[in-house]
């Protein structure tokens, strides 16, 4: 039997609040479907380079992140273009941006 899962909107709100308590600037760039939606996480180093990850589950259903662009830091324009195309394919997507010069973020889950 599958474990119960939080609605995406509640999950996002909880993690944005966690960022706020840790003084990490985080923003919801795009709201998607309230439940059952995927989250894109844009980590912005504030040097015109970003890392983009998509929420995914492994074979056991454990939540993690699938890194776009082979996990490399990529020009922000390319990342934004990728996000635009992804939203066109899936209008239910949520997009969160975290500003972090170190590249760290408080969102749980390993990177696949």
Each residue's pLDDT tens digit, 49-68:
999 999 998 888 888 999 99
Contact at 8 Å (CB) between 38 and 94? Answer: yes
* Helix ranges, 4-111 (H): 8-21, 76-89
* Helix ranges, the chain (H): 8-21, 76-89
Express each pLDDT in 8-54 by its tens digit: 999 999 999 999 999 999 999 999 999 989 999 999 999 999 999 99
Does residue 2 have a pLDDT over 70? no
Contact at 8 Å (CB) between 41 and 65? Answer: yes
Q: What is the CATH number of domain 8-99?
A: 3.40.1530.20
- Give the residues across from 64 on adjacent strands: 56
Does residue 106 have a pLDDT over 90? no
Q: Is the overall model pTM greater than 0.85, yes or no?
A: yes
What are residue 107's phi and psi, to 5 degrees? Answer: -80, 130
SS3 label, residue 69: helix
The DSSP call for residue 111 is B
- Give the residues across from 44 on adjacent strands: 50, 99
């Amino acid at each position: 039997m599958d474990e119960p899962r939080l609605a995406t909107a509640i999950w996002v709100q909880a993690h944005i609040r966690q960022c706020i308590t840790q003084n990490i600037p985080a923003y919801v760039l795009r709201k998607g479907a309230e439940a059952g939606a995927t989250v894109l996480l844009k980590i912005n180093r504030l040097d015109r380079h970003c890392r983009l990850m998509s929420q995914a589950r492994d074979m056991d259903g454990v939540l993690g992140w699938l890194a776009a662009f082979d996990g490399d830091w990529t020009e922000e324009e390319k990342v934004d273009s990728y996000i635009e195309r992804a939203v066109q394919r899936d209008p239910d997507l949520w997009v969160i941006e975290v500003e972090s010069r170190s590249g760290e973020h408080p969102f749980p889950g390993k990177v696949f």
